[in-house]
Amino acid sequence: MSDSANKMWSGRFNEPVSELVKRFTASVNFDKRMAEVDIEGSLAHAAMLNKVGVLSAADLAAIQQGMSEILADIRAGQFEWSLDLEDVHMNIERRLTEKIGDAGKRLHTGRSRNDQVATDIRLYLRGAIDILVALTHELQKSLLDLADQHAATVMPGFTHLQVAQPVTFGHHMLAYVEMLGRDADRFLDARARVNQLPLGAAALAGTTYPIDRLYTAELLGFDGVCQNSLDAVSDRDFAIEFTAAAALTMTHLSRLSEELVLWMSPRYGFIDIADRFCTGSSIMPQKKNPDVPELVRGKTGRVNGHLVGLLTLMKAQPLAYNKDNQEDKEPLFDTVDTLGDTLRIYADMMRGVTVKPEAMERAVKQGFATATDLADYLVKKGLPFRDAHEAVALAVRYAEEKRRDLSELQLVELKSFSPLIEADVVGVLTLEGSLAARDHVGGTAPNQVRAQIARWREVLAA
């Protein structure tokens, strides 16, 4: 190993690290994405050291100038990353020392890579959460636009993938708006726990220097500081919590993906997805495959795997920091990338969904979707619900044998199942009547759907 590549800790060892171990233990190939937040954290640490009298004003100015030049090189793609220097922190510190000399060596006073990396991850993740919440809101807006166009478009609502009751397509889209709203809330809730400063915990026990952690936290925009030095450097529960929230979001998008795939198939024919989100077949010229939704289903398993991986990573670690934690970054980074890409493409793709109302209406008429409405009608006429349920079940069996919908039966036929049925039943058995009857908060009546759309637009505009 050359002198220029000596480790910051190499004085303790009497032989160099083997090339295999060097490659095995290095993290710079993936943690260099934290370079900007690493510099941000270092500048705040230097300012704090100057405030408490540990670092001179001249050294602080030199560090600030050197870091500014390094940041410019990184952004321009001109920074040379060295595997010999192991990670993003050592690479930046070594380059700083080369630029400004001893002042660069003083930067690490009162801190360890343990609290430094914990701070970097939190800074990185805080920014990622803000971006992901904004992307989630953009997807919600796309779904709201689609719901607004189809607030009164009837479609079958399913349970067990069997036609159950009529709903509107707008109401169906709003279900996903609600899910994504909770997902965004989970990210924001997790952000409060992410946004606590570990810096100052040093290796594990704190430091003997008269540091001002609250000042550093203020400079970096943290809400507070981690209150126990052992916990500050060793736990990654905030990363696990974030990944759990991401896995839930991906699970919701996977459910939507499954429906889009089903609805686009000829057996349903409810929707079409714009060509730019689909692919063809190398052998079957007629094929138009919904690759994006299918891939999102697959990528959900990927993010779920990262969650299990992080939980497993932490489960057997004694206090305090262990090298195991180097393995936290790749699954975390990939989770951020996967979810971000998915949200971006879905916000665009949902604007390219074409709804086919006629196919939806044909489908809803095939499953006796207004049977519950007829039962409710009889209950309102005074029949106990269980008796009404039985009467309608018999009517459905009869209609099925006749290959007609309930709405297509004559009044005399319906009356054979209950003398309480009168001419006013006609409005009850129509799809429009069924929708309009569910006119309460959370119901599928078109005016309720439009009210929910307006409410969500107001929420997202705030």
281 is catalytic: yes
4, 56, 265, 281: the active-site residue: 281
The one catalytic residue among 2, 18, 160, 282: 160
Give the DSSP per-residue string, 194-239.
HSEE-TT-TTTT--SS---HHHHHHHHT-SEE-S-HHHHHH--HHH
In sequence order, the 6+-apart residues with CB closer than 8 A to the CB of 307 are 240, 243, 244, 246, 247
Q: What angle do CA 289, 291, 295 make, to 5 degrees?
A: 150
CA distance 41 to 310: 25
In angstroms, the CA 444 to CA 150 distance is: 12
CB atoms within 10 A of CB 408: 12
Measure the CA angle with vertex 203, ends 200 and 209; round to 5°. 45
Phi then psi for residue 400, to 5 deg, are -65, -40
Report the alpha-carbon distance of residue 258 to residue 176 in Å, rounded: 13
Beta-ladder partners of 271? 355
Question: What angle in degrees, to the nearest 10, is found between the helix axes of 446-461 and 169-194?
Answer: 30
Q: Are the C-beta atoms of 132 and 336 separated by less than 8 Å?
A: yes
* Rounded Cα–Cα distance for residues 334 and 135 (Å): 16
160 counts as catalytic:
yes
Using only C-alpha atoms, the chain has a radius of gyration, in whole angstroms, of: 31
Nearest to 247 by CA among 286, 195, 305: 305
Selection from 407, 353, 367 nearest residue 170 by Cα: 353
Q: What letter would DSSP give residue 317? A: P
The two most distant CA atoms of the chain are separated, in Å, by 100
- What residues are annotated to the active site? 160, 281
